[in-house]
């Protein structure tokens, strides 16, 4: 899931990744999994894609734990951020997951993301982030945007 979300979110916010870049994303997570001692990991990106597709078709269902998870999201995030989470999920999750979660295919985030991308040209993206993200974490979030020299 993290591999797929990482690739999808980058492509939504930035640009489409090449095959070699997707393989590089996979490799980072593969090495992390090896360090964690995980077993039976796919050896390469193509193998991962095949395994993920099988998993999506055979091992997912919408059960009581999923319902409870979304109730907890709603409770802890509040109305606005919970809606933002749902809209994000509409963009990120594969069709099968979207169907299981009863999410519509269109997200109102599409035009907002376009505005966000445009706002980066004028350094307005920090103002947008400060509106959306919790104030308690803004300093840490902003530090992620700065690449050390």
- Express each pLDDT in 8-20 by its tens digit: 999 998 899 999 9
Q: What is the average pLDDT across 52-75?
A: 94
Question: CA nearest 70: which of 100, 106, 35?
Answer: 100
Lowest mean pLDDT among 22-26, 69-73, 104-108, 120-124: 120-124
Q: What is the spatial distance between Cα 64 and Cα 126, in angstroms, rounded to a whole number?
A: 38
pLDDT(89) > 80: yes
With beta carbons less than 8 A apart as the criterion, state whether 48 and 21 touch.
Answer: no
CB neighbours of residue 21 within 10 Å: 14
Task: Determine the average pLDDT of the residues in 54-63.
Answer: 93
pLDDT (mean) for 48-72: 94
CA distance 9 to 83: 17
Q: Using the predicted structure, report yes or no on whether residue 54 has a pLDDT greater than 70.
A: yes
């Amino acid at each position: 899931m993290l591999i797929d979300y990482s690739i999808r979110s980058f492509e939504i916010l930035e640009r489409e990744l090449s095959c070699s870049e997707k393989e590089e994303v996979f490799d980072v997570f593969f090495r992390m999994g090896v360090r964690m001692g995980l077993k039976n990991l796919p050896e390469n990106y193509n193998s991962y894609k095949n395994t993920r597709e099988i998993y999506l078709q055979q091992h997912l269902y919408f059960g009581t734990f999923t319902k409870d998870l979304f109730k907890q999201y709603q409770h802890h995030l509040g109305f606005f951020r919970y809606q933002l989470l749902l809209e994000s999920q509409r963009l990120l999750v594969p069709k099968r997951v979207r169907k299981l979660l009863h999410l519509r295919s269109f997200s109102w985030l599409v035009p907002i993301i376009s505005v966000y991308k445009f706002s980066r040209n004028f350094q307005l993206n920090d103002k947008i982030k400060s509106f959306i993200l919790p104030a308690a974490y803004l300093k840490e979030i902003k530090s992620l945007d700065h690449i050390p020299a």
